[in-house]
Amino acid sequence: MSYNLTKDAAKISTITNTLPSTNDYLKGDGTNFTANSSITPECPLMYYFIGNGGGSGTAYSYGSTDTRLTWRSTGGYDGIAPDGNNFSDSNSAPSSHDEFFTHSSVDYLGREAAYSPSTSTNNWHSGITLKQGTYLLLGRVTAHQNSSSDGMICAWYDTDDNRVGPHSYMQEYGVGGRNHDFAIAVVDVPLAGKTYVLKLVQELGTINIHMNTNDVKRTVVAVERL
Amino acid sequence: MAHNLENFNGNKPNREGEVTVSSITELDDTSISNPQINDVLKWNGTNWVNVSPNTVSSQYIYIGDRNDSINYSTCHGASITSSHVFKIYSENPTNTITNASFVYQGDDSADGNGFTINASDLKNGVKYKIKTQGDANWTSIGAANSNVGTIFTYNGSTVTGSGTASSFWIRGVVLPAGTYYAQARVKLTDSTDNAYFDYRLLTCSATSSKNNVPLSAVAEFGKKSYTGGAGNLLSYFTLTESTEIQIVGAGNMASINTAVSNHGNELSRYGYMFIRKI
């Protein structure tokens, strides 16, 4: 009967029989929607790459022509969407694969075909395009070097060639003191989005253009939303 | 007829008394604005509003300017010892942690070991902020005015009168009670293969039992590395009250020149600190 209807019925809180507290979320439980303050926040991790090994010689190289570093995604493992702790599942990926994860709001750049070698260009990442927001960028890309005095100074750049973080110093595994530094940056990405790359700022000594297995193992790139 | 009288936000019952509500925006306790895919509803105390579950609002501090040409000799620091308090240069540090603040060289630290920068000690070409006005001739030495807080670059002219300034070298961070993740790196010039320096994160407090409490494992830079890589400091800690923290030498150093002036721009080039409240 219409006289049983009141305008109160046109409230979510009435329909769902909820007494919400401030900051409660409306969450489905499989049958109904209820107010729930403990909604699982989405993992802030946007992109994560762990070099787990594999590769040798010139099959795995980074670009030195424009000083932009690349990292290998061959055999990559697509992580599960970052809902709660699902990302930890990717750690169980086969050890022969590099572990790789990306969020749908992150696009990655492939390696330019001009890089050596010209094969497998689809399996390399050379930058990350992010949507609007504030992000923490971390990266460590090791490369093959010849002596204990070799190394490379790296930093995060945007594609307008602006350096966006302090310099860092990276050396090869087992040769130059095993100092594998991180390049770090905190960036505010504008509405239009922006692309960031890890660049080789300065070579110290001689750096070969290829990675070997140990170099790949020590490569990690992570992007986290702040 | 009732269906002519009842009105649910503009939706009238039909002849059978059925009301069609075509959108949650027509409900009384919703306030929906430009909804996006994957948005969820959140109660703001008055209405259910749409928000993105992707919104992660971390509170963090980031000290890591791209200004990497500042010589460490401009930090007004004392000679370098194994307990050296490192300073990181930043003209634009980010701080989104409520009630957190920076302690600059020239400010007093919590343990009372601040370093006063007198107007007479300013270094030519270095940027400062007026801390106490005194009777110094601020406008003759580069400042637009003599107001406290005015930022200026010392032009090398003769300083008359007294007053104090603070620099843009950050020697500490004051954090409110809470749990934090911290990551940092400092680096000095190391000219020999055997040079190294250990450092870590410590509390700085006027209370002896709360002073110099380690908040991190020891990190190291320079050892057996001719060209000098640097280890990063990683830490996870809980503070029960507002506390100043500093990056301090951990007691071990070798072949590191003790004169601050001999370390060039290493710290402004490589130094950073990132702290996130958890």
Query: DSSP string spanning B192-260?
Result: STT-EEEEEEEEE-SSGGGTT-B-S--EEE-TT-TT--BPPEEEEEEESS-EEEEEEEEEEEES----G
What 8-state DSSP symbol labels residue B192?
A: S
Query: A148 or B208, which is more confident?
Result: B208
The whole-number pLDDT of residue B193 equals 72
Who has greater pLDDT, A17 or B199? B199
Q: Please name every residue paired with B234 in a beta bridge, in sequence order, or none if there are none.
A: B183
Contacts of B89 (CB under 8 A, 6+ apart): B65, B67, B70, B75, B168, B169, B170, B267, B268, B271
Percent of chain B with pLDDT over 90: 55
Q: Please tell me the total number of residues recorded for chain A in this structure.
A: 226
| Residues B118-128 pLDDT 10s | 999 999 999 99
- The DSSP bridge partners found for residue B236 are B181
Q: Give the DSSP H/E element, type plus range, for residue A30.
A: none
In tens, the pLDDT along B159-193 reads 999 999 999 999 999 999 999 999 999 988 876 77
Cβ–Cβ under 8 Å, residues A174 and B224: no
CB contact (8 A) between residue B53 and residue A20: no
Mean per-residue pLDDT for B130-157?
A: 97
**Highest mean pLDDT pick, A129-143, A205-219, B124-138, B178-192:** B124-138
CB of A19 within 8 Å of a chain B CB? The answer is no
What's the mean pLDDT in B229-246?
Answer: 91
Tell whether the model's pLDDT for residue B72 goes beyond 90. Answer: yes
**Over 90: is that where the pLDDT of A44 sits?**
no
Query: In this model, does residue A84 exceed pLDDT 70?
Result: no
User: What does pTM read for this prediction?
Assistant: 0.76
Instruction: Write out pLDDT tens, residues A88-111.
Output: 222 333 333 344 556 666 776 665
A contacts of B28 (beta carbons < 8 Å): 7-8, 10-11
CB B109 within 8 A of CB B204: yes
Look at A26 and B54 and tell me if their CB atoms are within 8 Å: no
Euclidean distance between CA atoms B137 and B153, whole angstroms: 14
Please give the residue of chain A at the shortest CA–CA distance from B44: A22
**Which tokens go with A51?**
């070099």
Higher pLDDT, A61 or B36: B36
Using CB atoms, pick whichever of B223, B225, B270 lies closest to residue A167. B270
Distance CA B44, CA B30 (A): 10
Mean pLDDT lowest among A16-20, A93-97, A156-160, B151-155? A93-97
How many Å separate Cα A7 from the centre of its chain?
Answer: 49
Contact (CB<8Å) A184/B41: no
A41 close to A211: Cβ distance less than 8 angstroms: no
Residue B196 and residue B163 in contact, taking contact as beta carbons nearer than 8 Å: no
8 Å CB contact of A22 and B44 = yes
Q: How far is B80 from chain A (nearest CA, A)?
A: 22
B54-63, B90-99, B100-109, B167-176: range with lowest mean pLDDT: B54-63
Highest average pLDDT, of A145-159, B138-152, B193-207, comes from B138-152
- Please give the single-letter amino acid code of residue A187: V
